[in-house]
Structure 1
Amino acid sequence: MWNEPYLETCCRSALHRLTLVGRLGRPDGLKDGPCLHRLADMGLAEQGTDSRFRITAPGRVRHADEILKVKKVA
């Protein structure tokens, strides 16, 4: 059963971009800023003291499940 909050297409794209930039992070104030804040509210991203957004461990899991469609091995 699906029990995770739905991610809009724009937020899925923002989550994917967070994986691409790695530890550098994405700065606040870009067009995807509202999505980055939404991802942070969901615990999938975090905003550092330098105000850049980085993906979290739960964000990596969600990215693998929903965007990369990686199958879970039981």
Structure 2
Amino acid sequence: MWNEPYLETCCRSALHRLTLVRRHGRPTGLADEPCLKRLAEMGFAQPREDGRFEITAAGRVRHASEILKRPAA
């Protein structure tokens, strides 16, 4: 049974971009800001004090399972 929240294609892309930028984070004001906020509400991203978003541990797990198609550890 599927029990994870559904991620729209745009949000999956935003989650992947969070992994690509690593510690730099994603700034606000870009086209994917609504997705970053949605990911933060789901616990997959978090806003930082410098106004950027970074991926969380839960976001890394979700990225591995949904984007990289790796089985859950």
TM-score, length-scaled by structure 1: 0.95
CA distance in structure 1 between the aligned counterparts of 2:15 and 2:30, rounded to whole angstroms: 14
1:26 aligned residue = 26
2:64 aligned residue = 64
TM-score, length-scaled by structure 2: 0.96
CA distance in structure 2 between the aligned counterparts of 1:72 and 1:45, rounded to whole angstroms: 19
CA distance in structure 2 between the aligned counterparts of 1:25 and 1:69, rounded to whole angstroms: 23
Q: What whole-Å deviation, never above 9, does each CA across 1:16-73 have from its counterpart, x for those lacking one?
A: 0000000110001100000000000000000000010000000000000000001235
User: Aligned residues: percent identity?
Assistant: 73
- Point out where structure 2 has 5 or more consecutive residues left out of the alignment: none
What RMSD over aligned residues (CA atoms) do the two structures have, in Å? 0.8
CA distance in structure 1 between the aligned counterparts of 2:72 and 2:19, rounded to whole angstroms: 19
State the SS of the aligned residue for 2:21: helix
1:17 aligns with 2:17: yes
Structure 1, 49-58 or 63-72: larger mean CA deviation: 63-72
CA contact (8 A) 2:14 2:35 kept: yes
- Point out where structure 1 has 5 or more consecutive residues left out of the alignment: none
CA distance in structure 1 between the aligned counterparts of 2:8 and 2:37, rounded to whole angstroms: 13
